[in-house]
Amino acid sequence: MWRSFGKKLLGLLVFVLFLSFISFCLLKLVPGDPVRSMLRVDDVAVSREDIADLRNELGLDRPLLVQYGAWLGKLLRLDFGVSYMTYRPVLGEFAEKLPFTLLLTGGSLLVMLVISVPLGALSAVYRNRWVDRFSRVFSLIGSSLPSFWLGLLLIQLLSVKLHLLPPMGGGSLAHLVLPSLTLGVAMSAIYVRLIRSSLLESGGQDFVASAKARGLHPARVFWFHTFRHSLVPLVTLLSESLGSLLGGTLVVEILFAYPGLGKWIVDAIVARDYPVIQGYILFISLCIVVLNLLVELSYRWIHPQLGWKGR
Amino acid sequence: MRTAALPNLKKRMYPRMHQWIWMTTLPLLLLAAIVLAPLLTPQDPYLITVGDRLLAPSEAHLLGTDHLGRDLLSRIIAGIRTTVGTSLLILACSLLIGVTTGLLSGFIGGLWDRLFQRIIDAFMTLPDYIFAVILSGLLGPGLSNLLFAVIAVKWVGYARLARSVALQEKEQDYTALAVLAGVPKFRIVLRHILPHCLGNVLVLAALDLGKIILMIASLSYIGLGPQPPAAEWGSMLNEGQVYFTAAPHLMLAPGAALMLTVLAANLFGDKLRDRFDVKTREEA
């Protein structure tokens, strides 16, 4: 099992490198010049020599392949280069911003689970009753709601009107509540329906009937047999939506001026900060690839029938 | 051979008359709104009247005015063209590119298909929203760049679907017969394989419309969309949020317009899925 795992990991690493090459070329192809935006201070005219000097210093005048080779060579020593904007190492900046985004992701997952597991379970148990109808309307509206609008409304209600929570910034637990709520509510719209339908489906399976026939407590049957079995589609959807969750954090971070990865990358794009953009693309694609691998592993835990090959 | 294949195709793949009516209601309504938008605006959406800035809703301005004294209702109606019109255009282009490349790649197979598969994988690795932000950010803000960036993200889904259908149908006897009969490849794809993926692709497209509208609006909201003075719902929210306390109506109306449109698109997509998705229909 570990052997096939390692093989897969290696293949994925090669793939990520390939992706980084493509993005490197794309970065150089699109219009825009980091040197100009670095040198532009209050519209003072910049001399041609200054531009040429800086281009030379940053190595931007060399051929594309040489530049990529240099980047790759540094990468092997875990050197992601230096940000053009702040003159600080990209890796350090990344390590500084990552916890914020991870906290936000965790917080919104928590909100999502807290809303959608009980609501989904209730609407499966009381099928076609008012709980079910409420959850249907909730998920319909939730999936049509622009998350940034929900965030704006939440700021208006909870921080401007009621003064309960800080509207902007990051750093404390209170700063985390509004962004997580914004993302979590939007996400739970899909999960409520998924959990409901998957619970209904696994509730009709033979092993549930047999567990009931053995006289197990209904609650035990529900949580340990029906619910556990319906975790598989849940984990699949979770893994698929982790990417879109990362994308979602981007808007929400800008909306709440939250100092995470999303705000960092948008600032970098505007300034054409190539090392940061390149590093970010590499990090994100690595994250997604590794997460997908982990999800595959977690299936084996949830779904014992699949088994651990070679154990 | 053609006569033998046709009844089957007609029965399963081509929607019947009342289904066509169902399928085209919302797109037609939206198209009508897009075409008629300039005629429907009660006032000039771009007319700046600084004296009337941040007015609350009244009889003269049903939804109030924005920070430059422009009539909000007119701007929202004008925004149908930018937001919804752009989304429909994106959807059409992604459909065209995705379905064509996907079908051809799946049908031709071999090295091309493997290469194509790699490209699709590469596109799928980065989450679509992040990809769209990076692309449109690098290309620079503006409506046409936004259009390009979202198409670049969205065509992949259709290509994947079309490719899988092509791979499936390629193995069928009727395709082999068509090849034996010497029908040109392009014609086989067009007449025999395309109809098989049309239903699924259209359902996917209908379900996607709401997502595309939301994506455009949120990209514009973070400042990557059409530049002022263009009326776009997402950028209107961005402009309005500064005046939070003084003029809350600036935030409510564009958001509500956005939500209602996406809601309509989602309801429409759900209906279509129930009507056309074979699997769901059997379950019902």
Average pLDDT, chain B: 81
For residue B94, pLDDT over 90 is answered with yes
Residues whose CB falls within 8 Å of the CB of residue B87, separated by 6 or more in sequence, listed in order: B209, B212, B213, B216
> d(Cα B73, Cα B62) in Å, to the nearest integer?
7
For the four alpha carbons of A55, A57, A61 and A63, in that order, the dihedral sign comes to negative
What is the interface pTM, i.e. ipTM, of the complex?
0.81
Spatial separation of the C-alpha atoms in residues B233 and B216, rounded to whole Å: 9
Q: What pLDDT, on a 0 to 100 scale, did the predictor assign at position B20? A: 67
- Where does residue B182 fall: left (phi above 0), alpha (psi -120 to 50 degrees), or beta otherwise? left
Residue-number span of the structural domain to which A124 is assigned? 99-274
CB atoms B263 and A141 under 8 Å: yes
For residue B277, is it left (φ>0), alpha (ψ between -120 and 50) or beta? beta
Of the candidates B128, B221, B258, which has its C-beta nearest A251's C-beta? B221
Band the pLDDT of B1: cuts 50, 70, 90: very low
Mapped onto helix, strand or coil, the DSSP state of residue A128 is coil
Question: b/e map of A80-91 (b: 16 or more CB within 10 Å)?
Answer: bbbbbbeeebbe
Note whether residue A28 is domain-resident: no
Is the confidence at residue B29, as pLDDT, over 50? yes
Residues in chain B: 284
A20 lies in a domain?
no
In a domain, A42, yes or no: no
User: Which DSSP state fits B85?
Assistant: I
Dist. CA A40–CA A268, nearest whole Å: 15
Question: How confident is the model over B109-126, as a mean pLDDT?
Answer: 84
Per-residue pLDDT of B186-206, as tens digits, reads 888 888 888 888 878 888 888
Q: What angle do CA B219, B224, B230 make, to 5 degrees?
A: 100
List the alpha helices (DSSP H) in A126-203.
Answer: 130-144, 147-154, 173-203
For residue B65, what are the β-bridge partners? B71
Q: How many Cβ atoms from other residues are within 10 Å of residue A262's Cβ?
A: 28
CB B166 within 8 A of CB B189: yes
**Does residue B254 have a cis bond before it (omega within 30 degrees)?**
no
Q: How far apart are CA A151 and CA A181, in angstroms?
A: 8
Burial B225-259 (b: 16+ CB within 10 A, else e): bbeeebbbbbbbbbbbbebeeebbbbbbbbbebbb
Q: How far is Cα B209 from Cα B84, in angstroms, rounded to an integer? A: 9
When pLDDT is averaged across residues B144-167 and rounded to a whole number, the result is 90
Name the token pair of B227.
């530049």
Cβ-Cβ contacts under 8 Å, B214 against chain A: 146
- Residue A210: its H or E element: helix A206-213
**Chain B residues whose C-beta sits inside 8 Å of any chain A C-beta:** 118, 121-122, 125-130, 133-134, 137-140, 210, 214, 217-218, 221-222, 234, 237, 241, 244-245, 248, 251, 255, 258-260, 262-263, 265-267
A215 Cβ under 8 Å from any chain B Cβ: no
The reply to whether residue A144 touches residue B262, judged by beta carbons under 8 angstroms, is: yes
Cβ neighbours, 10 Å, residue A97: 21
Reply yes or no on whether the pLDDT at B98 is more than 90: yes
A221 to chain B, any CB pair closer than 8 A? The answer is no
B244 to chain A: which residues are within 8 Å by CB? 155-156, 160
| The predicted structure's pLDDT at residue B23 | 66
pLDDT of residue B150: 93
For residue A215, give how far its alpha carbon lies from the nearest alpha carbon of chain B (Å): 31
Which helix (H) or strand (E) covers residue A242, if one does?
helix A231-255
B78 closest CA partner among B113, B38, B115, B120: B38
Rounded distance between C-alpha atoms, residue A69 and residue B34, angstroms? 50
Report how far residue A229's alpha carbon sits from residue A220's, in angstroms, rounded to the nearest whole number.
13
pLDDT, position A309: 46
**B221 contact residues in A (CB cutoff 8 A):** 146, 148, 251, 255
* Contact check, Cβ <8 Å, B133/A266: yes
- Given a contact cutoff of 8 angstroms between Cβ atoms, the answer to whether B75 and B231 are in contact is yes
The distance of B210 to chain A (nearest Cα, Å) reads 7
> What is the Cα–Cα distance from A210 to A222, expressed in whole angstroms?
12
Do A284 and A246 contact (CB within 8 A), yes or no?
yes
Residue A197 in contact with partner chain B when CB distance is under 8 A: no
What is the set of domains in chain B, with CATH numbers?
A: 61-283 (1.10.3720.10)
In a domain, residue A76? The reply is no
Report the C-alpha gap between B110 and B104 in whole angstroms.
Answer: 11
Cα distances (angstroms) measured from residue B214 to each of A33, A143, B154, B209, B218: 30, 10, 13, 9, 6
Alpha helices in chain B (DSSP H): 2-12, 17-40, 72-79, 86-108, 110-125, 128-139, 143-170, 173-180, 185-188, 194-221, 233-240, 249-276, 278-283
Whole-number pLDDT of residue B3: 43
Instruction: Specify if A48 maps to a domain.
Output: no
CB of A260 closer than 8 Å to CB of A170: yes
Asked if B259 and A144 come within 8 Å (Cβ–Cβ), the reply is yes
Q: A50 in a domain, yes or no?
A: no
pLDDT in tens, B40-64: 777 777 777 777 777 777 777 777 7
Q: Is A121 within the bounds of a domain?
A: yes
Query: In sequence order, what DSSP letters do the residues of B111-142 get, joined into one string?
Result: HHHHHHHHHHHHHHHS-HHHHHHHHHHHH-SS
Other Cβ atoms within 10 Å of A311 Cβ, number: 7
Residues of A in contact with B160 (CB under 8 A): none
Query: B45: closest CA among B74, B81, B80?
Result: B74
A133 CB neighbour count, 10 Å cutoff: 12
Q: How far apart are CA B272 and CA B207, in angstroms?
A: 9
- 8 Å CB contact of B258 and A18: no
pLDDT in tens, B269-278: 887 777 765 4
Evaluated on CA atoms B42, B45, B49, B54, the torsion sign reads positive
- Residue range B215-238: mean pLDDT, rounded: 86
Provide the CATH number for the domain around residue A203. 1.10.3720.10
Which position has the higher pLDDT, B99 or A305?
B99
Asked if A256 contacts A244 with a C-beta cutoff of 8 angstroms, the reply is: no
Give chain A's domain count. 1
Q: In this predicted structure, what is the pLDDT of residue B280?
A: 39
Question: How many CA atoms lie less than 13 Å away from A13 in the CB half-sphere?
Answer: 7
Are B218 and A254 an interchain contact pair (Cβ–Cβ within 8 Å)? no
Q: How do the pLDDT tens digits run along chain A, 311 residues long?
A: 667 777 777 877 787 888 788 788 877 777 667 776 676 665 666 677 777 777 777 777 777 777 888 888 877 777 777 887 777 888 888 888 888 888 898 999 999 999 988 898 888 888 888 888 898 888 888 888 888 899 888 888 887 778 777 777 777 777 888 889 888 988 888 888 888 888 888 877 888 888 888 888 888 888 887 888 787 778 778 877 777 788 888 888 888 888 888 888 888 888 888 888 888 888 888 888 887 778 777 776 666 665 444 33
3-state secondary structure (DSSP) of residue B71 = strand
Q: What is the pLDDT of residue A1?
A: 62
SS3 percent helix, strand, coil of chain A, rounded to 5, is 80, 0, 20
For residue range A206-263, list pLDDT tens digits in order.
Answer: 888 888 888 888 888 888 878 887 877 787 788 777 777 888 888 888 888 888 888 8
- Among candidate residues B117, B95, B92, the one with its CA nearest the CA of residue B105: B117
